[in-house]
Structure 1
Amino acid sequence: MTSTTREHMYRLYSKGEAWATLLIAGDATRGSNPEVPAFVEGAPVSGEVSLNLASSDAIHTVVVSLRAQIITGSLPSEKFTFYEDTRTLWSSSPTTKKLKGRHTWPFSLSIPSTVSLAGEEFRSPQSFFERHTRGQIDYELCVRFMRPKLRSDHRLSTVIEYFPVSKPSPPSGLRQLAYAQNTTLLGPDSDPEGWKILPTVTMRGRFDSQTVGVSCMLSLATPLCYTRGTSIPCALQIECSNPAALNLLAAPDSIVLRLRRNVRFLSREVWNDEFQLSEMATWWWAGGSAGLGSLEESTETLISDAHVRRTLKGEIHLRAGLVTSSTIAHYRLEYAVVLLPFDAPGYESLDSEPLIVEPVEIASDLADGPCPLTYSTP
C-alpha cells in the first residue's frame, strides 16, 4: 500500500474463524465515506481473495465480478445493469475437486470511461446514493464461492464508489488574466466573451398596496460548466419604476438565486424528476471593492425619468462534494441555476414558478489555466 491507497477487508466466518477474505485497495484521497472503497476513472479495481479452509470444501468455482447498475426502485425490473465484468479466479478440475488449506488469488478489474448502450456512447457516471432519492447509480464488487446444486453458495460483496474525471473548457482570456493577477472580474460589458447574458424577465408582486413590475437581467460566467469546490460568477441588473420597491428588492438579501439539482429517471414508463435546491448565491453591490468589478460605473443608473437600474454582482459557492453531472440511458443527474421569486419583508410575489432556469454542468477537476478565485465567503 501507498499513502494514497486504503485497504478494505471483508470476511466470512465459520465457528468464529475467518475462512474467506476479500481485500481491496481503494483510493484514500477520494470518497464520501472512508469505509467504502473509492476508485478514480482509469484506476484498476484490484485486490485479492483468500481462503483458509480447515477441512476439504466442495467449492467448484470462485468468481469475482464488478457490476454497475441504475436503480430506480426495489423491483428487479427497476434495476438496469449497464456494465459487468466477471473473472473466474479458480475452478475445479478432475485432479483438484475440493479445496483445503490456504489459497490466494489476486484480481484486477476495470470500470470503463465510457459504455455503449443501444449503439450510443455514455460516460460512466459517478456513484450516487441518497436515502430519500429513488434514482441511484450503484457499483458493486462481489466474490462468489459456488458449490454443487445441493450445497449452498457463499458470497462476499461491497459497494464501491466510482469517480469519473471531467473538467470545464478554459474561460475567456480576460477572466484567466484576472485569476492570474488576483484582480476582480470584468463584467459582461467589458468581457462579452466571458459571459452569457440571459433574456430579461419580469417579476410581479405587491408592495405598499401597489402592483409593481421589476425587470431582471441575469448573466453567468462562461463556459456554463463549473468545478465543484469553486464558484459560479453571476451578475444581475434590476430595473423598476418604483424607487422604494427597487431599494427593497435590489438588496443582496432579497435575491434568491440558487443551484438546483435534478435526478431524472424513467421508471415504469414514466419520467420522474427529483429536485433539490442547494447552494444560494452571495450578492454585493456592483460598486463594492471586493468582487467581480463594476458592470456599470456605479451601483445605480438612471435609465429614464421613470426607471432606475441597479447592478449587483455575486457568486454561487459550490460544495466540494457535489456529484458531477451525468447522462446514461434512462438516467440523468442535471444541474441548473434558478432565479426564484424575490423574498423581502413587505413584498408579496405574484410569481409561483422560477423566473429563470439555466442548465449548467458540474465537473470534477479544474480547467486548464490559472486556478479560479472566489470573491466572497458563503
Structure 2
Amino acid sequence: MSTANAPSEHPPTLPGMAIYDTGNPGTHSANAHELPNYLSNGRRGTASRPSGRSEPKEFDTKVEKKGRAIVTMTLVSEAAYSRTRPTFFEGTPVKGRVRLSLDQPDTIHSVVISVQGRFMTGINPEEQLTFIEISRTLWTQSDGAPKNARASDISYSQGGGKFTGKLKGEYIWPFSIDLPKEVMLPSGIGSNKVEAFPPPQTFNERKTLASINYEIYVRVARGRWKADHRMMSQFGYIPLTRPPPFPPLRLLAYQEGRALIDPTIDLEGWHSSRPARVHGTLFKDRVATILCTLFIAKPLSYTRGSLIPLCLRLEGDDPQALDILSSPKSILVRLRRHVRYQFPGKTGASEDTIEDSSPALWWPRVAGTEEISPTSEHMRYVNGELHLKVDLKPSSAMSHFRVEYSVVLFPFEAPEFEHSTEQAQPPGEAIIEQAVQIVTSFAPGPRPVKSAPGYDLSMQVHTAKPISAKNALV
C-alpha cells in the first residue's frame, strides 16, 4: 500500500536566494517597514544559483508490506530549496534511484519510471491537460539479468538473452530525466494552432481551483496473477527567468550606492504612465482636479523577494489638495496578481482570480539635491517602493493557464478629499494600472536595495556573480 504526504507552499529562503519552492518532506510512504528613498534629498534566460553548491537532500517514497519496504523510489535534489519536497529548477534533471528489495524470489518483468506535468481543474481526466509526459524503462527482461542477480535464479529463453528467472535480493536502478524547456500545446481551447510555452512553476493554492502539478511514477511489472507495484510522488519545478539589464543611470546608482535619479531627468530609467485626472471635493466645499502620473523603474521585470521603485507626480492648481493627496497615508498602490485559466474540454469556460499585495511604502521627497528636478506649488513628487514577497509565483503564460501581474494605483484614501460621483471607482478598480513581470532570478550586476533618508546605501550594494552552470542564483 502507498501513502504520501500533502505538499506545503512555504519554503525557506537563504541569503541571496530568489528561487525557491516547497513541498512535503522526507520520507513518503507509497503506503517592519523600512522607508526606502528614491527621489531623496538629494527576460527569459539562464539564471544563477547561490555560490557554492548546497548539500543534496533525499526524499523517499515506498511500497511496503508488513512494515518492510519492497520498492523505494528516492529523489535527490538540492537541500537549499527542497525543505519539504524535492524541487528541481529549469535545466536540472530529475534525479534519483529505484531500489527493489525482495526477500523471496519473485518474477519481475520490468521497472518503468515516468514523469508528468499536468494542468488540472479537477480530478476527472477531461478536467486535466498533460503538457509533459516522459517515460523511461529502467530494466526489462529483454535486457538480460540484472547485475547482481543470483546465478541460481537466472535462466534464459531459448534463442536469446531474455531473462526469464526470478529476482531475489537488492537491486538498484539510478535515473536522470531532463525536463523540456518548452512544451508544444494548442494556443487555446478549440484552437488548431500549436505554440511553444515554457513549463510553469508548480502551482497549488487553496483559493484557486486550477493547479500545476509535477509527478513521478514508478511501476514494477510482476508475473501473471500478481498485482504490480506502483507508486507516485510529487515534486516541485521552478523555471529560471531573469530581468533584462538595468538602464545605465539606474545601474550606476546601484553600483555607487546612491539614490535613483528623478524620472524627469533619467527618462530612460523610468516608465511613465499616461496621466490620469482625479476629480473630487475638498472639505466638502470646493472642487479640486489633480493630474496623476505614476513612474515605475525600468525594466518592468522584477525578481521576487526584491522591490519595485516607484514615484508619483501630482499636479494641480490647489496647493492644499496637492498636500493632502501627496501625504504617504493617502496613496494606495499595490501589486495585483491575476491568475487566468480555462477549463480543459469546456470551450469558453474560464476563470480569473485576483489578489492584491500589501500596499507600497511612500515617503515625501526632500528637495535640494541634484538627483531631483525642481518642484513648485503646483506640483508634488512622492517616493515609493513595493516590496515583493519571496514566495510570489513568477509570471507565466501557457495556453490554458496564465499568471500575470500589474502595479495598480487605487483611489486616494484621504478623509478631507471625496472623489467625485462621476469618477467614483468601484471597489478594487484602478486609477492607473501597469503590467509588470515577476521573475525568479536576479540579473548579473548590482541588485536593488531598500533605502531611506539617512540610510547608508553604500552598505547595501550587492553584486550578482556571473552566471555559470554550477554557480546560479536561486
Q: TM-score, normalised by structure 2?
A: 0.72
Instruction: Return the offset for 1:150.
Output: 4.3
- Aligned amino acid, residue 174 of structure 1: L
Distance apart, 1:135 and its partner CA: 2.2
Q: What does the per-residue CA deviation read over 1:129-160, in whole Å, with 9 as the maximum and x for residues that have no partner? A: 11221222111111122346743333221111
Report the CA distance between 1:127 and its aligned residue: 1.2
| Whole-angstrom CA distance in 1 between matches of 2:403 and 2:140 | 41
Partner of 2:407: 337
1:50 matched residue in structure 2: 99
**Which structure has the higher relative contact order (CA within 8 Å, separation 6+)?**
2
1:32-43 residue pairs with structure 2 within 5 A?
A: 34-43=83-92
**Does the CA-based 8 Å contact 1:287-1:297 persist in structure 2?**
no
**Could you give the per-residue CA deviations for residues 150-172 of structure 1, whole angstroms, max 9, x where no partner exists?**
43333221111111111111111
In 1, Cα distance between equivalents of 2:198 and 2:130: 14
Mapping 1:288-367, distance limit 5 Å: 295-298=372-375, 301-302=376-377, 308-349=378-419, 350-352=424-426, 353-367=429-443
Residue deviations 1:197-219, cap 9 Å, x none? 11011234444224543321101
**Structure 1 residues 77 and 205, CA gap change in structure 2 (3 angstroms):** farther
Q: What is the distance in 1 between the residues matched to 2:418 and 2:243? A: 39
Deviations 1:182-234, CA, capped at 9 Å, x for gaps: 00000211110111111011234444224543321101111111111211111
Which aligned pairs between 1:92-107 and structure 2 lie closer than 5 A? 92-93=141-142, 94=157, 95-107=163-175
Give me the whole-angstrom Cα distance separating, in 2, the residues matched to 1:77 and 1:242. 60
- Whether 1:24 and 2:99 are equivalent positions in the alignment is no
Q: 1:73 to 1:243 in 2, by over 3 A?
A: farther
**Aligned mates of 1:212, 1:150 — CA distance in 2:** 84
Greater per-residue strand proportion? 1
Match for 1:351: what amino acid? Q
Unaligned ranges ≥5, structure 2: 1-52, 143-156, 158-162, 187-193, 456-474
- The 5-angstrom pairing of residues 225-304 of structure 1 reads 225-267=301-343, 268-269=346-347, 270-287=349-366, 295-298=372-375, 301-302=376-377
CA contact (8 A) 1:22 1:50 kept: yes
- 2:118 equivalent in structure 1: 69
Deviation string, structure 1 residues 284-323 (Cα, Å, up to 9, x no partner): 112179xx9864334xx23xxxxx2211011111112221
CA deviation after TM superposition for structure 1 residue 84, in Å: 1.2
Matched, 1:142 2:210: no
Give the Cα–Cα distance (whole angstroms) in 1 for the partners of residues 367 and 341 of structure 2: 43
In the alignment, which of 171, 175, 181 is matched to residue 246 of structure 2?
171
Distance 1:340 1:150, change over 3 A: farther
2:127 aligns to what? 78
Counterpart CA distance in 2 for 1:212 and 1:4 is 61
Cα gap change, 1:148 to 1:317, in 2 (>3 Å): same
Q: Does the C-alpha gap of structure 1 residues 368 and 288 become closer, same or farther in structure 2, counting only changes over 3 Å? A: farther
| More displaced 10-residue stretch of structure 1: 250-259 or 98-107 | 98-107
Q: Percent identity?
A: 38
Q: Deviations over 1:24-47 (max 9, x none)?
A: 11121224xx12101111111111
Q: Which amino acid aligns with 2:141?
A: S
Q: Which residue of 2 is the match for residue 224 of structure 1?
A: 300
User: For 2:451, what is the secondary structure of its paired residue?
Assistant: coil
Specify the code of the residue in structure 2 equivalent to 1:320: V
1:275 CA drift (Å): 0.8
Q: Structure 1: which 5+ residue stretches go unaligned?
A: 303-307
**Contact 1:68-1:137 within 8 A present in 2 as well:** yes
Change (3 A) 1:294 1:204: farther
Alignment equivalent of 1:215, drawn from 282, 291, 301: 291
Closer/same/farther in 2, CA of residues 239 and 176 from structure 1, 3 Å limit = same
Q: 1:271 offset after TM fit, Å?
A: 2.5
Distance in 1, Cα, partners of 2:267 & 2:290: 24
The alignment partner of 1:280 has SS state of coil
Mean Cα deviation higher: 70-79 or 39-48: 70-79
Q: In the superposition, relative to structure 1, how do residues 243 and 85 fare at CA in structure 2: closer, same or farther (>3 Å)?
A: same
CA distance in 1, matches of 2:67, 2:443: 52
Task: Tell me the SS of whatever aligns to 2:329.
Answer: helix
- 2:205 is matched with which residue: 126, 130, 135? 130
Sort the Cα spacing of 1:347 and 1:147 in 2 relative to 1 into closer, same or farther, 3 A: farther
Whichever residue aligns with residue 389 of structure 2, its letter is R
CA distance in structure 1 between the aligned counterparts of 2:314 and 2:88, rounded to whole angstroms = 46
Secondary structure, aligned partner of 1:137: strand
**Count of residues paired in the alignment:** 365
Q: Which amino acid aligns with 2:246?
A: P
Contact kept? 1:281, 1:317, Cα under 8 Å: yes
Q: TM-score, normalised by structure 1?
A: 0.90
- Corresponding position of 1:5: 56
Deviation string 1:48-107 (CA, Å, 9 cap, x unpaired) is: 000111123344222111111111233321211111111111223543354322111111
* Residue 158 in structure 1 maps to residue 245 in structure 2: no
* Aligned equivalents of 2:371, 2:290: Cα separation in 1: 21
Which amino acid is the alignment partner of residue 124 of structure 1?
P
- Secondary structure of the residue aligned to 1:248 is helix
Q: Which amino acid aligns with 2:216?
A: L
